[in-house]
Amino acid sequence: MKLVAGNSNRPLAEAISAYLNIPLAKCQVKRFADMEIYVEVQENVRGEDVFIIQSTSFPANDHLMELLIICDALRRSSARRITAVIPYFGYARQDRKPAARTPISAKLVANLITNAGVDRVLTLDLHAGQIQGFFDIPTDNLFSAPVMVRDIKERLSDGNQMVVSPDVGGVVRARALAKRIDAPLAIVDKRRERPGESEVMNIIGDVAGRSCILLDDIVDSGGTLVNAAEALLKNGAKEVYAYITHGVLSGGAVSRITNSKLKELVITDSIMPTEAVKVAHNIRVLPIAQLMGEAIGRTATESSVSSLFD
């Protein structure tokens, strides 16, 4: 068994390596002068079960190409099985045709990964569950819920919590968390006038006097969360927290969050936190190395992965 890390999230790869007590394989990923990617695996991987740890986070295209080229290098080095461990699958939001003459980029990326020679995919909290079906190879979609539930129970245990879905599409995810912590559920009804902007219209559920926990898979611009937090507080919520798996936080998102009425935004390290995130007073990062490492170990030994979430 070998672990190979790309450049997208080296700290997470090192933490997974430490959890499994398996050193990262020597692999050089560098750029030519024109930024063309060059990969050299500097260890023998013939007949090995190899796991590539690489999120397709910003810059998404560079990190995706790194993943594909590392995979090709391993395949041509006679690795027995190649598993792509993609904590954040970056093209997951383009999972359907929202308008005429638009691509389904998630399917295209799934085809690229499969055709590069990946035998199996391990990812975390896909934006849409049907993306598993875009891959023609075994794909395990892990859930960050156990990590979040543990953190919520340790920090918010006054019995006055309410889980809130920031939109109708996230109700299934929010309901599952609410069941785990034995809390009621509310829904934010919003209307999106144009891409990147959202307008909160109504709160479905009685949030008065509650500590509200907004739950979602991706926070990008932060606009939805900030608007939802303001609407919840206007409707009598005591305080608002947000638990989000993937902290994309592009553009001025960090500034928007720090200047908002959110008590705290909690994200995982599926995407490597920037310096701005690390110093933000109301953003906290939850480590997922143990969860990912355990899933990798079980995959290598052909043990059950789904039992992690029972």
Which parts of the chain sit beneath pLDDT 50?
Answer: none
The H-or-E segment that residue 266 falls in is strand 264-268
Question: Which residues are known to be catalytic?
Answer: 190
Question: Cα(216)–Cα(61) distance, rounded to whole angstroms?
Answer: 24
Question: Cα(132)–Cα(134) distance, rounded to whole angstroms?
Answer: 5
Q: For position 202, what pLDDT does the model report?
A: 85
Structure tokens, 224 = 């939805």
Q: For position 5, what pLDDT does the model report?
A: 95
| pLDDT, tens digit (0-9, with 9 covering 90-100), for 25-44 | 999 999 999 999 999 999 99
Beta-sheet pairing, 185-191 with 161-165? parallel
- Asked if 263 contacts 240 with a C-beta cutoff of 8 angstroms, the reply is yes
Question: Cα(229)–Cα(166) distance, rounded to whole angstroms?
Answer: 9
Does the annotation list 62 as a binding residue? no
Against a cut of 0.85, is the pTM above it?
A: yes
| pLDDT, tens digit (0-9, with 9 covering 90-100), for 229-256 | 999 999 999 999 999 999 999 989 999 9
Does the annotation list 281 as a binding residue? no
The H-or-E segment that residue 24 falls in is none
Does the annotation list 223 as a binding residue? yes
Does the annotation list 49 as a binding residue? no
Does the annotation list 93 as a binding residue? yes
Question: Cα(116)–Cα(119) distance, rounded to whole angstroms?
Answer: 9
Q: For position 23, what pLDDT does the model report?
A: 96
Map residue 8 onto helix, strand or coil: coil
Q: Mind giving me the DSSP string for 78-123?
A: T-SEEEEEESS-TTTT--S-SSTT---HHHHHHHHHHHTT--EEEE
Domains and CATH numbers, the chain: 2-142 (3.40.50.2020), 145-286 (3.40.50.2020)
| Helix, strand, coil % in the chain, rounded to nearest 5 | 35, 25, 40
